[in-house]
């Protein structure tokens, strides 16, 4: 169904009828008032989980934000509205609590007067924040890999889509190992979407998806599922397991002797499990990140060196660090190109095809009619000792999924938004009968 947002015009005086109640609610959340931005500042407001269950995955994103802001300001800032302005970074901790995200987004809009909001690790957090940002006509960025089907006037995405990860990587897996595949995933929106994309890949490339099952978070006993996979005898497995499910599944799979090659787009890139889990639990796992510190090239090497200089105890520089950094650099270029922070002008600048040559993963460019970016993705294999081997560069792929189903995000108006899945593509409906 189409999501219709109740739009409220922003005012520089913040004279909203709801402002007092919003700020009162924020006080209950333990959010303190911050000093308002000056006329010489552009406001970037970020909300990420720097504590709680998702802190290990999301905290590196804040490192990317901070580095980008530092570099932009050190280079002299950005010329907008006839003035040279610096970027003011206002940062909040979502505490891995989805309930905080709408409140903190309101804080960004009403009190901080954010010019852009970047937020969230999980899809649920993203939608809580994004709905508030969009309702208040504020540019919003999600800097993770995502479902790839969100079409919205105010929303932009710096990470890879399943079209860029799942399709080329599973094509390689089918060609390398054979067509017979099983899928297990966590029972929430993102993994359900990945299941749809895995089914699409099977349909497009001659695969045979013989098992597709979803599980609640924090399953402790996986013996039956492992036994089912062993009985089926697939050529390879597809996983979308997160959190405690990974902690339980992989040691139990190793103990049971399940050695079938596996593929996942959530393992390694987010939580660097190859650094945490005992070897060889993840041996023969294949992963398709848009960025991790093992990606080769001068951009990656320079980025990792800068991050480690500032965070010498960082266990791993994951994809979120790279995508957060890239998103801020893209916004800086959009503000400079627009010559203003006025929302509609900046959106048009982003839609013109802003590129970030210094993106850690390599070539990166916003695709205007998609609000997602063209970028390279890579295919790595986890070795027995949990080192990573680069198998191949999957190439620089421009997302076209929305275009293929007739959606040009540039033509969407305020208040229109929708999230599409592969089954919404008429050419692919046959894969879902």
pLDDT single digits (tens) 385-406? 999 999 999 999 899 999 999 9
pLDDT of 4 higher than 80? no
pLDDT of 312 higher than 60? yes
The two beta strands, 208-215 and 180-186, are: parallel
pLDDT of 19 higher than 60? no
Domains of the chain: residue spans and CATH: 3-160+295-368+400-421 (3.40.50.2300), 162-288 (3.40.50.2300)
Q: Which of 28-42, 54-68, 195-209, 233-247 has the lowest mean pLDDT?
A: 28-42
Nearest CA among 420, 372, 401, 1 for reference residue 201: 401
Nearest CA among 79, 35, 39 for reference residue 333: 79
DSSP for 350-398 reads HHTT-B-TT-TTS--EEETTTTEEEEEEEEEEE-TTS-EEEEEEEEEE-
- Please report the pLDDT score of residue 97 as a whole number: 96
For residues 353-380, average pLDDT: 97
Mean pLDDT score of the chain: 91
- Please report the pLDDT score of residue 35 as a whole number: 56
Q: Is the peptide bond before 307 cis (omega within 30 degrees of 0)?
A: no
Express as a percent the part of the chain with pLDDT over 90: 87
- Please report the pLDDT score of residue 39 as a whole number: 82
- Please report the pLDDT score of residue 433 as a whole number: 82
Residue 51 in tokens = 């504590």
pLDDT of 99 higher than 60? yes
Distance, CA of 74 to chain centre = 27
Express as a percent the part of the chain with pLDDT over 70: 91
Q: What is the distance between the alpha carbons of residues 391 and 428, in angstroms, rounded to a whole number?
A: 29
The pLDDT confidence band at residue 417, using thresholds 50, 70 and 90, is confident
- Please report the pLDDT score of residue 228 as a whole number: 98
pLDDT of 27 higher than 60? no
pLDDT of 59 higher than 50? yes
* Predicted structure pTM score: 0.90
| Local structure of residue 159 (DSSP, 8 states) | S
Between residues 198 and 433, which one has the greater pLDDT? 198
Nearest CA among 115, 157, 110 for reference residue 335: 115
- Please report the pLDDT score of residue 31 as a whole number: 47
- Please report the pLDDT score of residue 416 as a whole number: 73
The two beta strands, 3-4 and 78-80, are: unpaired
Q: Which of 36-40, 107-111, 249-253, 408-412 has the lowest mean pLDDT?
A: 36-40
- Please report the pLDDT score of residue 36 as a whole number: 59
């Amino acid at each position: 169904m189409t999501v219709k947002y109740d739009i409220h015009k922003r005012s520089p005086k913040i004279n909203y009828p709801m402002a007092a109640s919003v700020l009162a609610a924020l006080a209950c959340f333990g959010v303190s008032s911050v000093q308002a931005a000056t006329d010489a500042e552009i406001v970037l407001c970020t909300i990420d989980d720097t504590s709680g269950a998702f802190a290990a995955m999301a905290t590196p994103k804040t490192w990317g934000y901070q580095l980008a802001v530092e570099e932009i300001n050190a280079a002299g800032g950005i010329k907008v509205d006839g003035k040279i302005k610096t970027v003011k970074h206002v940062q909040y901790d979502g505490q891995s609590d989805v309930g905080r995200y709408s409140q903190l987004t309101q804080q960004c809009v009403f009190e901080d007067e954010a010019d852009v909001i970047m937020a969230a690790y999980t899809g649920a957090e993203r939608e809580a924040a994004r709905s508030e940002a969009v309702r208040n006509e504020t540019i919003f960025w999600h800097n993770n890999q995502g479902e790839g089907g969100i079409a919205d006037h105010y929303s932009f995405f710096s990470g890879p889509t399943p079209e860029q990860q799942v399709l080329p990587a599973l094509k390689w897996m089918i060609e390398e190992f054979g067509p017979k595949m099983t899928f297990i995933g966590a029972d929430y929106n993102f993994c359900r979407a990945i299941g749809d994309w895995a089914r699409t890949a099977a349909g497009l490339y001659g695969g045979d998806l013989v098992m597709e099952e979803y599980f609640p978070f924090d399953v402790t006993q996986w013996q039956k599922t492992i036994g089912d996979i062993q009985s089926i005898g697939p050529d390879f497995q597809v996983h979308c397991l997160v959190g405690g499910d990974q902690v339980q599944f992989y040691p139990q799979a190793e103990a049971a002797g399940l050695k079938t090659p596996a593929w996942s787009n959530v393992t390694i890139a987010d939580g660097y499990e190859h650094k945490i889990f005992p070897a060889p639990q993840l041996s023969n796992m294949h992963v398709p990140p848009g960025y991790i510190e093992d990606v080769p090239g001068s951009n990656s090497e320079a980025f990792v060196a800068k991050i480690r200089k500032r965070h010498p105890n960082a266990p791993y520089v994951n994809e979120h660090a790279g995508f957060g950094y890239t998103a801020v650099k893209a916004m800086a270029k959009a503000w400079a190109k627009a010559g203003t922070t006025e929302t509609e002008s900046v959106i048009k600048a982003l839609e013109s095809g802003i590129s970030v040559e210094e993106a850690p993963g390599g070539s990166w460019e916003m695709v205007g009619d998609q609000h997602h970016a063209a970028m390279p993705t890579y295919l790595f294999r986890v070795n027995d000792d949990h080192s990573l081997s680069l198998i191949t560069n999957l190439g620089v792929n421009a997302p076209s999924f929305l275009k293929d189903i007739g959606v040009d995000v540039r033509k969407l108006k305020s208040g229109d938004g929708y999230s599409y899945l592969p089954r919404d593509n008429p050419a692919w409906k046959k894969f879902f009968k």
